[in-house]
Structure 1
Amino acid sequence: MSTVAIVGCGAMGSVYAALMASAGHEVHAVTLWPDHAEAMRTKGLRVEGASGDRTVQLASAGTTTDAIGTCDLVIIATKAFDVEAAARSCVSLIGPETVVQTIQNGLGSPEIAASILDKDKIAVGVVGGFGASMRGPGHVHHNGLEMIRFGALAGLPLRRLQAAAKIWEHSGFKVHLFDDVQRMVWEKLIMNVTFSGTTCVTGLTIGGVMADPNAWQVALGCATEAIAVAEAIGVVLDVGDPIEHIRKLGGKIPDARPSMLLDHSAGRRGEVDAINGSIPRLGKQYGVPTPINETVVAIIKAREAGFAA
Protein backbone atom coordinates (compact mmCIF):
# COMPACT_ATOMS: atom_id res chain seq x y z
CA MET A 1 0.00 0.00 0.00
CA SER A 2 1.03 3.61 -0.60
CA THR A 3 1.09 6.77 1.48
CA VAL A 4 -1.00 9.57 -0.02
CA ALA A 5 -1.53 13.17 1.07
CA ILE A 6 -4.47 15.09 -0.34
CA VAL A 7 -3.83 18.78 0.14
CA GLY A 8 -7.10 20.59 -0.44
CA CYS A 9 -9.49 17.92 0.75
CA GLY A 10 -12.77 19.57 -0.17
CA ALA A 11 -15.55 17.89 -2.13
CA MET A 12 -13.44 16.36 -4.90
CA GLY A 13 -10.46 15.68 -2.64
CA SER A 14 -12.74 13.85 -0.23
CA VAL A 15 -13.90 11.50 -2.99
CA TYR A 16 -10.27 10.70 -3.77
CA ALA A 17 -9.50 10.22 -0.07
CA ALA A 18 -12.41 7.92 0.66
CA LEU A 19 -11.84 5.58 -2.27
CA MET A 20 -8.09 5.43 -1.71
CA ALA A 21 -8.55 4.73 2.01
CA SER A 22 -11.16 2.08 1.19
CA ALA A 23 -8.57 0.38 -1.00
CA GLY A 24 -6.16 0.21 1.94
CA HIS A 25 -3.87 3.14 1.22
CA GLU A 26 -2.60 5.36 4.04
CA VAL A 27 -4.41 8.61 3.32
CA HIS A 28 -3.76 11.96 4.98
CA ALA A 29 -6.29 14.75 4.38
CA VAL A 30 -5.44 18.45 4.62
CA THR A 31 -8.24 21.02 4.44
CA LEU A 32 -8.65 24.69 5.29
CA TRP A 33 -12.02 23.89 6.91
CA PRO A 34 -11.45 23.03 10.60
CA ASP A 35 -14.96 21.60 11.03
CA HIS A 36 -14.45 19.26 8.07
CA ALA A 37 -11.09 18.10 9.47
CA GLU A 38 -12.61 17.55 12.92
CA ALA A 39 -15.52 15.54 11.52
CA MET A 40 -13.18 13.34 9.47
CA ARG A 41 -11.03 12.70 12.54
CA THR A 42 -13.82 11.91 14.95
CA LYS A 43 -16.58 10.39 12.82
CA GLY A 44 -14.77 9.31 9.68
CA LEU A 45 -15.23 10.54 6.13
CA ARG A 46 -18.54 9.65 4.49
CA VAL A 47 -18.75 9.67 0.69
CA GLU A 48 -21.94 8.70 -1.11
CA GLY A 49 -23.11 8.72 -4.68
CA ALA A 50 -21.89 7.03 -7.82
CA SER A 51 -19.23 5.04 -5.94
CA GLY A 52 -21.67 3.78 -3.32
CA ASP A 53 -22.05 4.89 0.29
CA ARG A 54 -19.09 4.44 2.63
CA THR A 55 -17.60 5.90 5.76
CA VAL A 56 -13.86 5.47 6.14
CA GLN A 57 -11.21 6.31 8.69
CA LEU A 58 -8.21 8.21 7.35
CA ALA A 59 -4.67 8.05 8.64
CA SER A 60 -4.99 11.72 9.59
CA ALA A 61 -7.08 14.79 8.89
CA GLY A 62 -6.05 18.33 9.74
CA THR A 63 -5.50 21.87 8.56
CA THR A 64 -1.73 21.62 8.05
CA THR A 65 0.78 19.16 6.61
CA ASP A 66 2.69 19.03 9.90
CA ALA A 67 3.69 15.53 11.06
CA ILE A 68 2.54 13.74 7.89
CA GLY A 69 6.02 12.88 6.61
CA THR A 70 7.17 11.72 3.20
CA CYS A 71 4.49 10.43 0.82
CA ASP A 72 4.44 8.36 -2.33
CA LEU A 73 1.78 10.57 -3.89
CA VAL A 74 0.85 14.16 -3.03
CA ILE A 75 -2.34 15.39 -4.63
CA ILE A 76 -2.81 19.16 -4.65
CA ALA A 77 -6.57 19.48 -5.02
CA THR A 78 -7.07 23.07 -3.84
CA LYS A 79 -8.75 25.85 -5.75
CA ALA A 80 -6.50 27.36 -8.41
CA PHE A 81 -5.87 30.52 -6.37
CA ASP A 82 -4.61 28.45 -3.41
CA VAL A 83 -2.06 26.37 -5.33
CA GLU A 84 0.93 28.52 -4.42
CA ALA A 85 0.31 28.24 -0.68
CA ALA A 86 -0.48 24.54 -1.01
CA ALA A 87 2.72 23.85 -2.92
CA ARG A 88 4.77 25.59 -0.23
CA SER A 89 3.09 23.46 2.41
CA CYS A 90 4.00 20.27 0.52
CA VAL A 91 7.77 20.64 0.66
CA SER A 92 8.09 18.44 3.76
CA LEU A 93 6.03 15.67 2.12
CA ILE A 94 8.31 15.14 -0.83
CA GLY A 95 11.00 12.47 -1.02
CA PRO A 96 13.15 11.19 -3.91
CA GLU A 97 10.34 9.06 -5.39
CA THR A 98 7.33 11.27 -4.58
CA VAL A 99 4.95 12.26 -7.36
CA VAL A 100 3.12 15.57 -6.91
CA GLN A 101 -0.12 15.70 -8.83
CA THR A 102 -1.87 19.03 -9.40
CA ILE A 103 -5.60 18.75 -10.11
CA GLN A 104 -7.31 22.09 -10.68
CA ASN A 105 -9.82 23.62 -13.02
CA GLY A 106 -8.59 26.04 -15.64
CA LEU A 107 -5.08 26.99 -16.67
CA GLY A 108 -1.83 27.83 -14.86
CA SER A 109 -1.81 25.76 -11.67
CA PRO A 110 0.95 23.26 -12.60
CA GLU A 111 3.24 26.11 -13.58
CA ILE A 112 2.60 27.83 -10.24
CA ALA A 113 3.45 24.63 -8.37
CA ALA A 114 6.59 24.21 -10.50
CA SER A 115 7.83 27.64 -9.41
CA ILE A 116 8.10 26.21 -5.88
CA LEU A 117 8.58 22.46 -6.30
CA ASP A 118 10.78 20.41 -8.63
CA LYS A 119 9.00 20.45 -12.00
CA ASP A 120 10.31 16.96 -12.72
CA LYS A 121 8.22 15.59 -9.83
CA ILE A 122 4.96 17.11 -11.05
CA ALA A 123 2.13 15.36 -12.86
CA VAL A 124 -0.70 17.42 -14.31
CA GLY A 125 -4.11 15.96 -13.48
CA VAL A 126 -7.51 16.49 -15.08
CA VAL A 127 -10.81 15.13 -13.83
CA GLY A 128 -14.40 15.75 -14.78
CA GLY A 129 -17.84 14.25 -14.55
CA PHE A 130 -17.82 13.74 -10.78
CA GLY A 131 -20.22 16.51 -9.77
CA ALA A 132 -18.97 16.44 -6.18
CA SER A 133 -20.43 18.62 -3.43
CA MET A 134 -20.18 18.96 0.34
CA ARG A 135 -23.25 17.80 2.25
CA GLY A 136 -21.75 18.87 5.56
CA PRO A 137 -18.53 18.49 7.55
CA GLY A 138 -17.15 15.03 6.90
CA HIS A 139 -19.86 14.24 4.34
CA VAL A 140 -19.58 14.45 0.54
CA HIS A 141 -21.80 13.40 -2.36
CA HIS A 142 -20.82 12.87 -6.00
CA ASN A 143 -22.97 12.33 -9.09
CA GLY A 144 -20.45 10.56 -11.34
CA LEU A 145 -17.19 8.64 -11.42
CA GLU A 146 -15.46 9.50 -14.65
CA MET A 147 -11.88 9.08 -15.81
CA ILE A 148 -8.77 10.53 -14.18
CA ARG A 149 -6.34 11.84 -16.78
CA PHE A 150 -2.78 12.90 -16.14
CA GLY A 151 0.65 13.28 -17.62
CA ALA A 152 4.09 14.61 -16.77
CA LEU A 153 4.58 18.37 -16.64
CA ALA A 154 8.25 18.12 -17.56
CA GLY A 155 10.74 15.34 -16.78
CA LEU A 156 8.80 13.03 -14.46
CA PRO A 157 9.97 9.49 -15.36
CA LEU A 158 7.36 7.22 -16.90
CA ARG A 159 7.82 4.53 -14.24
CA ARG A 160 6.90 7.01 -11.48
CA LEU A 161 3.95 8.32 -13.47
CA GLN A 162 2.75 4.74 -13.87
CA ALA A 163 3.27 4.04 -10.15
CA ALA A 164 1.04 6.99 -9.31
CA ALA A 165 -1.55 5.78 -11.81
CA LYS A 166 -1.62 2.38 -10.11
CA ILE A 167 -2.63 3.99 -6.81
CA TRP A 168 -5.65 5.52 -8.52
CA GLU A 169 -6.50 2.34 -10.42
CA HIS A 170 -6.21 0.19 -7.29
CA SER A 171 -8.70 2.56 -5.65
CA GLY A 172 -11.34 2.04 -8.33
CA PHE A 173 -10.68 4.99 -10.62
CA LYS A 174 -10.30 4.75 -14.38
CA VAL A 175 -6.99 6.27 -15.47
CA HIS A 176 -5.63 7.45 -18.82
CA LEU A 177 -2.06 8.70 -19.14
CA PHE A 178 -1.36 11.41 -21.71
CA ASP A 179 1.80 12.42 -23.52
CA ASP A 180 0.16 15.59 -24.87
CA VAL A 181 -0.66 17.35 -21.60
CA GLN A 182 -1.76 20.54 -23.33
CA ARG A 183 -4.44 18.68 -25.29
CA MET A 184 -5.53 16.88 -22.14
CA VAL A 185 -5.96 20.14 -20.23
CA TRP A 186 -7.82 21.89 -23.04
CA GLU A 187 -10.24 19.02 -23.56
CA LYS A 188 -11.31 19.53 -19.94
CA LEU A 189 -11.12 23.33 -20.14
CA ILE A 190 -13.68 23.63 -22.93
CA MET A 191 -16.15 21.73 -20.74
CA ASN A 192 -15.45 23.97 -17.73
CA VAL A 193 -15.69 27.14 -19.80
CA THR A 194 -19.06 26.02 -21.17
CA PHE A 195 -20.77 25.30 -17.88
CA SER A 196 -18.89 26.87 -14.96
CA GLY A 197 -19.54 30.52 -15.72
CA THR A 198 -23.00 29.91 -17.16
CA THR A 199 -24.29 27.93 -14.18
CA CYS A 200 -22.78 30.54 -11.88
CA VAL A 201 -24.61 33.48 -13.48
CA THR A 202 -27.93 31.63 -13.93
CA GLY A 203 -28.03 29.41 -10.83
CA LEU A 204 -29.02 26.46 -13.04
CA THR A 205 -27.60 22.95 -12.99
CA ILE A 206 -25.69 21.66 -16.02
CA GLY A 207 -28.86 19.97 -17.26
CA GLY A 208 -30.79 23.17 -16.62
CA VAL A 209 -28.39 25.17 -18.77
CA MET A 210 -28.63 22.62 -21.58
CA ALA A 211 -32.44 22.64 -21.43
CA ASP A 212 -32.90 26.41 -21.35
CA PRO A 213 -32.48 28.04 -24.80
CA ASN A 214 -31.24 31.36 -23.39
CA ALA A 215 -28.75 29.82 -20.98
CA TRP A 216 -27.53 27.37 -23.62
CA GLN A 217 -26.96 30.26 -26.05
CA VAL A 218 -24.54 31.80 -23.53
CA ALA A 219 -22.88 28.46 -22.76
CA LEU A 220 -22.50 27.67 -26.46
CA GLY A 221 -20.93 31.09 -27.05
CA CYS A 222 -18.43 30.51 -24.24
CA ALA A 223 -17.56 27.10 -25.69
CA THR A 224 -17.20 28.36 -29.26
CA GLU A 225 -14.80 31.10 -28.18
CA ALA A 226 -12.70 28.63 -26.17
CA ILE A 227 -12.51 26.24 -29.12
CA ALA A 228 -11.42 29.11 -31.39
CA VAL A 229 -8.67 30.10 -28.94
CA ALA A 230 -7.47 26.50 -28.73
CA GLU A 231 -7.28 26.35 -32.51
CA ALA A 232 -5.33 29.61 -32.64
CA ILE A 233 -2.83 28.29 -30.10
CA GLY A 234 -2.40 25.07 -32.06
CA VAL A 235 -4.12 22.69 -29.65
CA VAL A 236 -5.56 19.67 -31.47
CA LEU A 237 -8.68 18.51 -29.64
CA ASP A 238 -9.18 14.78 -30.14
CA VAL A 239 -12.87 14.61 -29.18
CA GLY A 240 -14.64 14.59 -32.53
CA ASP A 241 -17.10 17.46 -32.78
CA PRO A 242 -16.22 19.51 -29.67
CA ILE A 243 -19.75 20.81 -29.15
CA GLU A 244 -21.26 17.33 -29.38
CA HIS A 245 -18.55 16.13 -26.98
CA ILE A 246 -19.59 18.83 -24.50
CA ARG A 247 -23.27 17.94 -24.91
CA LYS A 248 -22.55 14.25 -24.31
CA LEU A 249 -20.50 14.82 -21.15
CA GLY A 250 -22.96 17.38 -19.80
CA GLY A 251 -25.80 14.97 -20.41
CA LYS A 252 -24.16 12.44 -18.12
CA ILE A 253 -24.36 14.73 -15.09
CA PRO A 254 -27.49 16.87 -15.59
CA ASP A 255 -27.99 17.41 -11.86
CA ALA A 256 -24.43 18.59 -11.26
CA ARG A 257 -23.77 22.07 -9.93
CA PRO A 258 -20.18 23.04 -10.85
CA SER A 259 -17.86 24.16 -8.11
CA MET A 260 -17.95 27.77 -9.28
CA LEU A 261 -21.71 27.84 -8.75
CA LEU A 262 -21.40 26.13 -5.35
CA ASP A 263 -18.76 28.64 -4.25
CA HIS A 264 -20.83 31.55 -5.51
CA SER A 265 -23.96 30.32 -3.73
CA ALA A 266 -21.95 30.10 -0.50
CA GLY A 267 -20.60 33.64 -0.91
CA ARG A 268 -17.08 32.40 -1.63
CA ARG A 269 -14.65 33.48 -4.32
CA GLY A 270 -14.63 31.13 -7.30
CA GLU A 271 -12.18 30.15 -10.01
CA VAL A 272 -13.53 32.34 -12.79
CA ASP A 273 -10.09 33.83 -13.50
CA ALA A 274 -8.57 30.40 -14.15
CA ILE A 275 -11.53 29.11 -16.18
CA ASN A 276 -13.59 31.59 -18.23
CA GLY A 277 -11.05 34.32 -17.57
CA SER A 278 -8.28 32.36 -19.28
CA ILE A 279 -10.08 32.61 -22.63
CA PRO A 280 -10.05 36.43 -22.97
CA ARG A 281 -6.44 36.58 -21.75
CA LEU A 282 -5.28 34.17 -24.44
CA GLY A 283 -7.74 35.54 -26.97
CA LYS A 284 -6.05 38.94 -26.77
CA GLN A 285 -2.65 37.34 -27.32
CA TYR A 286 -3.79 35.41 -30.39
CA GLY A 287 -6.26 37.89 -31.87
CA VAL A 288 -9.41 35.90 -31.13
CA PRO A 289 -12.51 37.88 -30.04
CA THR A 290 -14.02 36.58 -26.80
CA PRO A 291 -16.89 38.94 -25.89
CA ILE A 292 -19.16 36.33 -24.30
CA ASN A 293 -16.54 35.01 -21.89
CA GLU A 294 -15.51 38.57 -21.11
CA THR A 295 -19.12 39.43 -20.21
CA VAL A 296 -19.60 36.31 -18.07
CA VAL A 297 -16.36 37.04 -16.19
CA ALA A 298 -17.35 40.67 -15.62
CA ILE A 299 -20.76 39.71 -14.20
CA ILE A 300 -19.28 37.14 -11.82
CA LYS A 301 -16.50 39.42 -10.62
CA ALA A 302 -18.98 42.25 -10.05
CA ARG A 303 -21.06 39.94 -7.87
CA GLU A 304 -18.01 38.65 -6.02
CA ALA A 305 -17.03 42.21 -5.17
CA GLY A 306 -19.95 42.23 -2.78
CA PHE A 307 -18.83 39.10 -0.92
CA ALA A 308 -17.39 39.43 2.55
CA ALA A 309 -13.60 39.34 2.56
Structure 2
Amino acid sequence: MIDRIPSIDIVRFSTSGTEAIQTALRGARVFTGRNLIMKMDGSYHGSGDIAEYDSFVSPVRKGLSPHIDKEVVIGYFNDERTFQIIDQYKDQLAAVIVEGVMGAAGIIPPENGFLNQLQEKCRQYGIVFILDEVISFRLANAGAQEIYGLEPDITTLGKVVGGGMAVGAFGGRADIMSVFNPSKPNAVHHSGTFAGTPIAAAAGIAMLKKYQGETIIHLNEKGNQFAEDLKDLIYEYNLPLTVTHIGSLLNLHAIDTPIKTVDDVRRGNQTVLQAIQLAMLNEGVFFPKRGMMSLSTAITTDEFEFVLAMFDRVFKKYSMFIE
Protein backbone atom coordinates (compact mmCIF):
# COMPACT_ATOMS: atom_id res chain seq x y z
CA MET A 1 0.00 0.00 0.00
CA ILE A 2 2.85 2.39 0.78
CA ASP A 3 4.42 1.57 -2.58
CA ARG A 4 1.13 2.24 -4.41
CA ILE A 5 0.08 5.42 -2.61
CA PRO A 6 2.86 8.07 -2.54
CA SER A 7 1.10 10.16 0.13
CA ILE A 8 1.33 7.34 2.68
CA ASP A 9 4.51 7.06 4.75
CA ILE A 10 3.04 4.90 7.52
CA VAL A 11 -0.10 2.75 7.50
CA ARG A 12 -2.11 1.33 10.40
CA PHE A 13 -4.85 -1.29 10.20
CA SER A 14 -8.29 -1.70 11.74
CA THR A 15 -11.23 -4.03 11.24
CA SER A 16 -13.39 -1.63 9.20
CA GLY A 17 -13.42 1.63 7.33
CA THR A 18 -15.57 3.12 10.10
CA GLU A 19 -12.91 2.39 12.71
CA ALA A 20 -10.11 3.65 10.45
CA ILE A 21 -11.91 6.96 9.93
CA GLN A 22 -12.77 7.43 13.61
CA THR A 23 -9.15 6.85 14.60
CA ALA A 24 -7.77 9.10 11.87
CA LEU A 25 -10.03 11.94 13.05
CA ARG A 26 -8.86 11.42 16.62
CA GLY A 27 -5.25 11.59 15.48
CA ALA A 28 -5.90 14.82 13.57
CA ARG A 29 -7.33 16.41 16.70
CA VAL A 30 -4.28 15.51 18.75
CA PHE A 31 -1.85 16.58 16.02
CA THR A 32 -3.45 20.02 15.57
CA GLY A 33 -4.67 20.63 19.10
CA ARG A 34 -8.03 21.61 17.64
CA ASN A 35 -11.43 19.94 17.99
CA LEU A 36 -13.74 20.79 15.09
CA ILE A 37 -14.17 18.45 12.09
CA MET A 38 -15.60 19.36 8.69
CA LYS A 39 -17.41 16.78 6.58
CA MET A 40 -19.38 17.26 3.38
CA ASP A 41 -23.15 17.26 3.51
CA GLY A 42 -24.46 13.83 2.49
CA SER A 43 -21.07 12.11 2.52
CA TYR A 44 -20.82 8.64 4.05
CA HIS A 45 -17.81 7.94 6.24
CA GLY A 46 -19.04 4.95 8.22
CA SER A 47 -21.24 4.76 11.29
CA GLY A 48 -19.41 6.90 13.85
CA ASP A 49 -21.23 9.92 15.29
CA ILE A 50 -19.12 12.46 13.40
CA ALA A 51 -19.51 10.49 10.17
CA GLU A 52 -23.28 10.14 10.51
CA TYR A 53 -23.97 13.80 11.19
CA ASP A 54 -25.15 16.03 8.34
CA SER A 55 -27.77 18.67 7.61
CA PHE A 56 -30.58 16.08 7.33
CA VAL A 57 -29.82 14.25 10.60
CA SER A 58 -31.41 14.94 13.98
CA PRO A 59 -28.97 13.83 16.73
CA VAL A 60 -31.83 12.93 19.04
CA ARG A 61 -33.78 11.00 16.39
CA LYS A 62 -30.74 9.10 15.17
CA GLY A 63 -29.25 8.39 18.59
CA LEU A 64 -26.16 10.52 18.02
CA SER A 65 -24.51 12.51 20.78
CA PRO A 66 -26.69 15.53 21.58
CA HIS A 67 -23.53 17.65 21.42
CA ILE A 68 -22.38 16.41 18.01
CA ASP A 69 -23.35 19.70 16.36
CA LYS A 70 -20.61 21.37 18.45
CA GLU A 71 -17.99 19.00 17.02
CA VAL A 72 -18.86 18.97 13.31
CA VAL A 73 -19.27 21.71 10.74
CA ILE A 74 -20.89 20.88 7.39
CA GLY A 75 -19.27 21.66 4.05
CA TYR A 76 -20.72 21.15 0.59
CA PHE A 77 -19.18 18.99 -2.13
CA ASN A 78 -18.55 20.79 -5.43
CA ASP A 79 -19.65 24.05 -3.82
CA GLU A 80 -17.66 27.28 -3.31
CA ARG A 81 -19.47 27.87 0.00
CA THR A 82 -17.20 25.26 1.55
CA PHE A 83 -14.13 27.47 1.26
CA GLN A 84 -15.89 30.37 2.94
CA ILE A 85 -16.90 28.11 5.83
CA ILE A 86 -13.30 26.95 6.24
CA ASP A 87 -12.17 30.59 6.36
CA GLN A 88 -14.71 31.18 9.13
CA TYR A 89 -13.61 28.22 11.27
CA LYS A 90 -9.92 28.07 10.30
CA ASP A 91 -8.61 28.33 13.87
CA GLN A 92 -10.93 25.61 15.17
CA LEU A 93 -10.74 22.99 12.42
CA ALA A 94 -8.59 19.94 13.11
CA ALA A 95 -9.48 18.15 9.90
CA VAL A 96 -11.54 18.23 6.74
CA ILE A 97 -12.63 14.78 5.60
CA VAL A 98 -13.95 14.26 2.08
CA GLU A 99 -14.53 11.36 -0.30
CA GLY A 100 -12.46 11.03 -3.46
CA VAL A 101 -15.80 10.54 -5.21
CA MET A 102 -19.06 10.90 -3.29
CA GLY A 103 -20.16 7.28 -3.02
CA ALA A 104 -23.34 6.45 -1.14
CA ALA A 105 -24.64 9.96 -1.88
CA GLY A 106 -24.94 9.05 -5.56
CA ILE A 107 -21.51 8.58 -7.25
CA ILE A 108 -20.75 12.28 -7.69
CA PRO A 109 -17.24 12.99 -9.02
CA PRO A 110 -15.49 16.21 -7.99
CA GLU A 111 -15.70 19.04 -10.49
CA ASN A 112 -13.76 22.20 -11.34
CA GLY A 113 -10.78 21.25 -9.18
CA PHE A 114 -12.89 21.17 -6.01
CA LEU A 115 -10.71 18.65 -4.17
CA ASN A 116 -7.50 20.41 -5.20
CA GLN A 117 -8.82 23.73 -3.90
CA LEU A 118 -9.95 22.03 -0.71
CA GLN A 119 -6.49 20.55 -0.19
CA GLU A 120 -4.85 23.95 -0.73
CA LYS A 121 -7.22 25.62 1.71
CA CYS A 122 -6.33 23.03 4.35
CA ARG A 123 -2.62 23.57 3.71
CA GLN A 124 -3.11 27.31 4.14
CA TYR A 125 -4.53 26.94 7.65
CA GLY A 126 -2.68 23.85 8.90
CA ILE A 127 -5.84 21.71 8.78
CA VAL A 128 -5.37 17.96 8.28
CA PHE A 129 -6.75 17.01 4.87
CA ILE A 130 -8.24 13.50 5.06
CA LEU A 131 -9.24 11.77 1.83
CA ASP A 132 -11.69 8.90 2.29
CA GLU A 133 -10.79 6.38 -0.42
CA VAL A 134 -12.80 3.47 0.97
CA ILE A 135 -14.90 3.49 -2.22
CA SER A 136 -12.77 5.48 -4.69
CA PHE A 137 -9.51 3.52 -4.25
CA ARG A 138 -10.76 1.03 -6.86
CA LEU A 139 -10.51 3.67 -9.61
CA ALA A 140 -6.69 3.71 -10.02
CA ASN A 141 -3.53 2.20 -8.56
CA ALA A 142 -3.49 4.97 -5.95
CA GLY A 143 -7.19 5.77 -6.04
CA ALA A 144 -8.84 9.13 -6.69
CA GLN A 145 -5.80 11.00 -5.43
CA GLU A 146 -3.88 9.67 -8.42
CA ILE A 147 -6.63 10.73 -10.83
CA TYR A 148 -7.00 14.24 -9.43
CA GLY A 149 -3.38 14.92 -8.48
CA LEU A 150 -3.90 15.08 -4.71
CA GLU A 151 -1.56 14.49 -1.79
CA PRO A 152 -3.76 14.10 1.29
CA ASP A 153 -2.31 14.24 4.78
CA ILE A 154 -4.20 11.05 5.70
CA THR A 155 -5.92 8.49 3.46
CA THR A 156 -8.58 6.14 4.81
CA LEU A 157 -9.20 2.78 3.14
CA GLY A 158 -11.30 -0.37 3.42
CA LYS A 159 -13.26 -2.85 1.29
CA VAL A 160 -10.97 -3.23 -1.74
CA VAL A 161 -7.72 -3.48 0.24
CA GLY A 162 -9.04 -6.51 2.12
CA GLY A 163 -10.04 -8.70 -0.79
CA GLY A 164 -13.48 -9.17 0.77
CA MET A 165 -12.26 -9.70 4.32
CA ALA A 166 -13.11 -7.38 7.22
CA VAL A 167 -10.43 -4.69 7.07
CA GLY A 168 -9.83 -0.99 7.32
CA ALA A 169 -6.67 1.07 7.07
CA PHE A 170 -5.45 4.62 7.37
CA GLY A 171 -2.10 6.13 6.62
CA GLY A 172 -0.34 9.31 5.72
CA ARG A 173 2.41 11.74 6.62
CA ALA A 174 4.93 10.34 9.07
CA ASP A 175 4.70 13.35 11.43
CA ILE A 176 0.93 13.01 11.74
CA MET A 177 0.95 9.22 12.01
CA SER A 178 3.61 9.45 14.74
CA VAL A 179 0.92 10.51 17.23
CA PHE A 180 -0.09 6.82 17.31
CA ASN A 181 3.44 5.58 18.11
CA PRO A 182 2.99 3.67 21.39
CA SER A 183 6.62 4.21 22.35
CA LYS A 184 6.00 7.94 22.68
CA PRO A 185 4.53 9.55 25.80
CA ASN A 186 0.84 10.50 25.49
CA ALA A 187 0.42 8.52 22.26
CA VAL A 188 -3.07 8.29 20.79
CA HIS A 189 -4.46 4.87 21.68
CA HIS A 190 -5.12 2.58 18.74
CA SER A 191 -5.53 -1.16 19.08
CA GLY A 192 -7.94 -3.92 18.15
CA THR A 193 -7.95 -7.68 18.60
CA PHE A 194 -8.70 -8.33 14.93
CA ALA A 195 -6.99 -5.31 13.38
CA GLY A 196 -4.73 -6.49 10.56
CA THR A 197 -5.42 -10.19 11.10
CA PRO A 198 -3.20 -12.58 9.11
CA ILE A 199 -6.19 -13.75 7.06
CA ALA A 200 -7.25 -10.20 6.12
CA ALA A 201 -3.63 -9.24 5.42
CA ALA A 202 -3.09 -12.26 3.16
CA ALA A 203 -6.33 -11.56 1.28
CA GLY A 204 -5.41 -7.90 0.97
CA ILE A 205 -1.95 -8.65 -0.42
CA ALA A 206 -3.42 -11.05 -2.98
CA MET A 207 -6.04 -8.48 -3.95
CA LEU A 208 -3.57 -5.63 -4.38
CA LYS A 209 -1.28 -7.78 -6.51
CA LYS A 210 -4.10 -8.78 -8.84
CA TYR A 211 -6.06 -5.54 -8.89
CA GLN A 212 -3.70 -3.04 -10.46
CA GLY A 213 -2.57 -1.57 -13.78
CA GLU A 214 -4.34 -3.00 -16.82
CA THR A 215 -6.90 -4.82 -14.67
CA ILE A 216 -8.15 -1.52 -13.24
CA ILE A 217 -8.06 0.20 -16.63
CA HIS A 218 -10.05 -2.65 -18.22
CA LEU A 219 -12.69 -2.64 -15.48
CA ASN A 220 -13.04 1.15 -15.70
CA GLU A 221 -13.51 0.87 -19.47
CA LYS A 222 -16.23 -1.74 -18.98
CA GLY A 223 -17.88 0.47 -16.36
CA ASN A 224 -17.86 3.53 -18.60
CA GLN A 225 -19.29 1.51 -21.49
CA PHE A 226 -21.99 0.02 -19.27
CA ALA A 227 -22.98 3.51 -18.11
CA GLU A 228 -23.17 4.78 -21.70
CA ASP A 229 -25.29 1.79 -22.73
CA LEU A 230 -27.63 2.49 -19.83
CA LYS A 231 -27.87 6.14 -20.88
CA ASP A 232 -28.77 5.01 -24.40
CA LEU A 233 -31.67 2.98 -23.03
CA ILE A 234 -32.88 5.94 -20.98
CA TYR A 235 -32.76 8.11 -24.10
CA GLU A 236 -34.54 5.46 -26.19
CA TYR A 237 -37.50 5.34 -23.81
CA ASN A 238 -37.35 9.09 -23.07
CA LEU A 239 -37.30 8.52 -19.32
CA PRO A 240 -36.68 11.15 -16.60
CA LEU A 241 -33.59 9.34 -15.37
CA THR A 242 -29.90 10.23 -15.10
CA VAL A 243 -26.73 8.15 -14.69
CA THR A 244 -23.68 9.46 -12.86
CA HIS A 245 -20.50 7.44 -13.21
CA ILE A 246 -16.75 7.24 -13.07
CA GLY A 247 -14.94 4.07 -14.05
CA SER A 248 -16.46 1.01 -12.38
CA LEU A 249 -18.80 3.08 -10.19
CA LEU A 250 -22.20 4.31 -11.35
CA ASN A 251 -25.54 5.43 -9.98
CA LEU A 252 -29.02 5.58 -11.47
CA HIS A 253 -31.06 8.63 -10.42
CA ALA A 254 -34.77 9.29 -10.92
CA ILE A 255 -34.26 12.85 -12.12
CA ASP A 256 -33.60 14.18 -15.62
CA THR A 257 -31.31 17.11 -14.72
CA PRO A 258 -27.52 16.98 -14.24
CA ILE A 259 -26.24 15.72 -10.89
CA LYS A 260 -23.56 18.00 -9.43
CA THR A 261 -24.32 17.97 -5.71
CA VAL A 262 -26.13 15.89 -3.11
CA ASP A 263 -29.02 18.39 -3.24
CA ASP A 264 -29.53 17.40 -6.89
CA VAL A 265 -29.77 13.77 -5.78
CA ARG A 266 -32.26 14.61 -3.04
CA ARG A 267 -34.57 16.18 -5.62
CA GLY A 268 -34.90 12.83 -7.36
CA ASN A 269 -38.08 10.74 -7.19
CA GLN A 270 -37.18 8.00 -4.73
CA THR A 271 -40.51 6.21 -5.26
CA VAL A 272 -39.69 5.74 -8.95
CA LEU A 273 -36.13 4.66 -8.20
CA GLN A 274 -37.31 2.05 -5.70
CA ALA A 275 -39.91 0.79 -8.18
CA ILE A 276 -37.14 0.26 -10.76
CA GLN A 277 -34.99 -1.46 -8.17
CA LEU A 278 -37.80 -3.85 -7.25
CA ALA A 279 -38.61 -4.55 -10.89
CA MET A 280 -34.94 -5.36 -11.58
CA LEU A 281 -34.85 -7.60 -8.54
CA ASN A 282 -37.80 -9.51 -9.99
CA GLU A 283 -35.71 -9.98 -13.14
CA GLY A 284 -32.77 -11.39 -11.20
CA VAL A 285 -30.62 -8.25 -10.89
CA PHE A 286 -29.86 -6.63 -7.55
CA PHE A 287 -28.60 -3.16 -6.74
CA PRO A 288 -29.40 -0.99 -3.69
CA LYS A 289 -32.54 1.09 -3.76
CA ARG A 290 -30.43 4.26 -3.90
CA GLY A 291 -29.38 3.16 -7.41
CA MET A 292 -25.65 2.66 -6.77
CA MET A 293 -23.78 -0.02 -8.74
CA SER A 294 -20.17 -1.15 -8.21
CA LEU A 295 -18.87 -3.39 -10.97
CA SER A 296 -16.53 -6.31 -10.40
CA THR A 297 -13.73 -7.93 -12.38
CA ALA A 298 -15.69 -11.18 -12.06
CA ILE A 299 -18.57 -9.89 -14.22
CA THR A 300 -18.46 -11.38 -17.71
CA THR A 301 -19.55 -9.88 -21.02
CA ASP A 302 -22.58 -12.20 -21.03
CA GLU A 303 -23.58 -10.95 -17.59
CA PHE A 304 -23.25 -7.32 -18.66
CA GLU A 305 -25.49 -8.05 -21.64
CA PHE A 306 -28.00 -9.83 -19.41
CA VAL A 307 -28.22 -6.88 -17.01
CA LEU A 308 -28.69 -4.43 -19.87
CA ALA A 309 -31.37 -6.65 -21.37
CA MET A 310 -33.21 -6.66 -18.04
CA PHE A 311 -32.98 -2.87 -17.83
CA ASP A 312 -34.39 -2.75 -21.35
CA ARG A 313 -37.28 -5.00 -20.31
CA VAL A 314 -38.00 -3.02 -17.14
CA PHE A 315 -37.76 0.40 -18.82
CA LYS A 316 -40.10 -0.74 -21.58
CA LYS A 317 -42.58 -2.37 -19.21
CA TYR A 318 -42.66 0.49 -16.73
CA SER A 319 -42.14 3.48 -19.02
CA MET A 320 -45.73 4.68 -18.69
CA PHE A 321 -45.54 4.48 -14.88
CA ILE A 322 -42.17 6.22 -14.74
CA GLU A 323 -43.36 9.11 -16.89
Superposed pair shares fold, TM > 0.5: no
The structure with the greater share of residues assigned to strand is: 1
Q: What's the TM-score, normalizing by structure 2?
A: 0.39
Larger radius of gyration: 2
Which protein, 1 or 2, shows the higher relative CO under an 8 Å CA cutoff with sep ≥ 6?
A: 2
